[in-house]
Amino acid sequence: MNVEREKRLSAEAAAGLVEDGMIVGLGTGSTVGYLLPALARRRLSISCVATSPRTKRAALELGLDVRPFDIVDHLDMTIDGADQIAPDGWLVKGGGGAHTREKIVAAAASRFVVIGDSRKPVEVIRAPIPLELLEFGLSATLRRLGPALVREAPKSPDGGILADYHGDVGNPARLSERLSATPGVVGHGLFPPELVTEVLVGHGDSVERRT
Ligand code: 5RP
């Protein structure tokens, strides 16, 4: 299995879905690292919104037109990687800590296209589930969450503390509801199937497409 090749193939397949005139949300991570040059090579007339400073920098260096999210009222398509992709469409994202912004940008798009290599599909979603927590009341939030560990990582660009939930996942919908309802949780990395339009997974020399 050549993981880097699989990432590149899935990213190139996603870049092929983008059309002239679109406003495109750009995710974060190493698979998106292959998407950006593939998009730039197509020389389309598109505008982009980035989910992280890292993606913004890389996109600008490649000559892509990156706009502030707040001046864009609708995204045609968002393309992003994932850490886990379940058969029922639930995703785990946030290995790179950008999940809060990534969820907002995915939710703002008409189509959310997920890209990844063949290690990403899983039978069952498992911990860790990435979290972004408010710094105020952090100890209380962690006690309420149960098994969760703060990452040794810089804060998010929005000042959030990055952490991971390490308890049982069980039903992702129920855990997602509980995490969202926990005071102090700014965002979490469980993405529901309703957000996802299609999934492009590199497998060896080809790309499996799930809608
Ligand atoms: C960042 C993310 C990434 O999309 C996810 O971690 C996958 O990353 P990679 O493409 O490097 O495997 O959610 O917050």
pLDDT digits (tens, 9 = 90+) for 133-186: 999 999 999 999 999 999 999 999 999 999 999 999 999 999 999 999 999 999
- Looking at residue 69, its amino acid is F
Distance 9 CA to ligand 1 centre (A): 16
Whole-number pLDDT of residue 114: 98
Does the pLDDT value for residue 123 go beyond 90?
yes
> Rounded mean pLDDT of the chain?
97
* pLDDT band at residue 211 using 50, 70 and 90 as cut-offs: confident
Whole-number pLDDT of residue 73: 84
Residue 9 φ then ψ, to 5°: -65, -40
Span 87-110, mean pLDDT? 97
Does the pLDDT value for residue 35 go beyond 80?
yes
Whole-number pLDDT of residue 1: 74
Q: Does residue 123 carry a catalytic annotation? A: no
User: Relative to the CA of 30, which ligand 1 atom is closest?
Assistant: 11
Does residue 82's CB lie within 6 angstroms of at least one atom of ligand 1? yes
Of all residues in the chain, the percent with pLDDT exceeding 90 is: 99
Closest Cα to atom 6 of ligand 1? 95
Does residue 84's CB lie within 6 angstroms of at least one atom of ligand 1? no
Structure tokens at 38: 């593939």
Predicted-assembly ipTM surpassing the 0.95 threshold:
yes
Span 69-95, mean pLDDT? 96
Span 87-100, mean pLDDT? 97
Does the pLDDT value for residue 110 go beyond 90?
yes
Closest Cα to atom 1 of ligand 1? 96
DSSP element (H, E) containing 70: none
Residue whose structure tokens are 């790309």: 207
Query: Of these residues, 4, 102, 177, 208, which one is catalytic?
Result: 102
- Looking at residue 211, its amino acid is T
pLDDT tens string 10-33:
999 999 999 999 999 999 999 999
pTM for this model (two decimals): 0.97
Does residue 83's CB lie within 6 angstroms of at least one atom of ligand 1? yes
Task: Give the Cα separation of 106 and 178 in Å (integer).
Answer: 21
Whole-number pLDDT of residue 156: 98
